[in-house]
Amino acid sequence: MPRLTCLLMLAAWITAVPEARGDPSLRAENVIIVTLDGFRWQEVFTGADESLIDAKSGGVREVADLKQHFWRPTADGRRKALLPFFWSTLAAQGQVFGDPSHKAAARLTNGLKFSYPGYSEMFCGFADARIDSNAKKPNPNTSVLEFLDNKAAFRNKVAAFCTWDVFPYIFRAGTSGLKVHAGWTLITDTPLTPRQRFANEMVSNLPRYWPENVFDIVTMEAAREHLRRHKPRVLYIGLGETDEWGHGRRYDLYLHAAHNADRFLADLWRLLQEMPQYKDKTALLVTTDHGRGLTRIDWTDHGKKVPGAEFIWIAALGPDTPALGVREGAETTQSQVAATVAHLLGENFQTASPRAAPPLAGIRRLSGR
């Protein structure tokens, strides 16, 4: 072969490489990330807290009814009653980080322990001191969602559906061009599917109980229908009721919101396994933006001055994730989530964002190379 032809072929091959999959031995082609805002590790690992199932500390309206739903004599029984999908499938077939009794605390590093700094750390991969409020200001940093959306293989196949209306700023949707549907917003697909019409009727008719945060069911419906219709490769679903009911000192509604989120995850996982694009080719990552207080007084709260609210949890399930269950002796940080999302897809977020923390160790089986 003439040397020039050979060089041209080599050049063509080299330029083609960035468009190829990062690691052809991986099975995951899609990733879904779901967050439960301000949902504590205490409930994840030990289920309902008996000291909060009362009128005074927990604001519980029907104590006997709540106990019937979620109280069991053992921590294992309680957590399975509260989060059946999480414990029967996600933890059994995947991995869970953040159980302090397994010397595996997961913590945020931003020190502020509230939402915008938490989501920014989670999706941009590091704590940025400039992000010190929940104000609707565009994030100066690139998120892993934007990073993926900028790659040809993922372009316009990345979307975020969030109950909280600050997310378009967290993902700087105005400049990144990322699809972010948030808060009390109508779906604008044309024509609308029957379920999308129903979701829009909820937006128009439900009481705007929290002006900046729509009820979880509305976002769940919108996200699920987007998945069915547009088949994104990367989908983020941000749920917010756990945090809102926590602030409202309604432990009953806080637990029911978490239980509903778990059922949503179960339904979503079932749906994914029925769709050829997703079946056995999709990773699921579930986590939270911050913890809450530890006591009967401050369990409702979080923030810089609330001890313990820096502790979170992270769970993952997928075709390339070894079934290690609750991880032992693995201290992790929220900042590792961003690179982990890319890593699960065979991509390296740290090349675009050098300040990002590395992916969670052991989350993905090693490739053959």
The residues binding Zn ion (CB under 5 A) are: 38, 243
Distance CA 112, CA 77 (A): 33
Pick between residue 38 and residue 318 the one whose CB is nearest to Zn ion.
38
Pick between residue 127 and residue 360 the one whose CB is nearest to Zn ion.
127
| Residue 274 C-beta: closest distance to Zn ion, Å | 35
| Residue 170 C-beta: closest distance to Zn ion, Å | 14
Distance CA 183, CA 144 (A): 21
Distance CA 124, CA 144 (A): 6
363 alpha-carbon distance from chain centroid:
15
Pick between residue 38 and residue 359 the one whose CB is nearest to Zn ion.
38
Distance CA 23, CA 343 (A): 9
Pick between residue 300 and residue 321 the one whose CB is nearest to Zn ion.
300
Pick between residue 36 and residue 91 the one whose CB is nearest to Zn ion.
36
| Residue 144 C-beta: closest distance to Zn ion, Å | 23
Candidates 207, 162, 199; CA nearest to 182 is 162
Find the helix or strand (DSSP H, E) in which 280 lies.
none
Pick between residue 149 and residue 165 the one whose CB is nearest to Zn ion.
165
Find the helix or strand (DSSP H, E) in which 315 lies.
strand 314-317
| Residue 243 C-beta: closest distance to Zn ion, Å | 4
| Residue 303 C-beta: closest distance to Zn ion, Å | 8
| Residue 302 C-beta: closest distance to Zn ion, Å | 6
| Residue 329 C-beta: closest distance to Zn ion, Å | 30
Pick between residue 118 and residue 168 the one whose CB is nearest to Zn ion.
118
The residues, ordered by sequence, that sit 6+ positions from 238 with a Cβ below 8 Å of its Cβ are 34, 35, 37, 119, 160, 161, 162, 163, 164, 167, 182, 219
- The residue nearest Zn ion at its CB is 243
Helices (H), 193-322: 194-205, 216-230, 241-247, 251-274
| Residue 55 C-beta: closest distance to Zn ion, Å | 22
Angle formed by the axes of helices 216-230 and 251-274, nearest 10°: 10
Pick between residue 25 and residue 133 the one whose CB is nearest to Zn ion.
133
Neighbours of 195 (CB within 10 A): 15
Q: What is the helix, strand, coil percentage profile of the chain, to 5?
A: 40, 10, 45
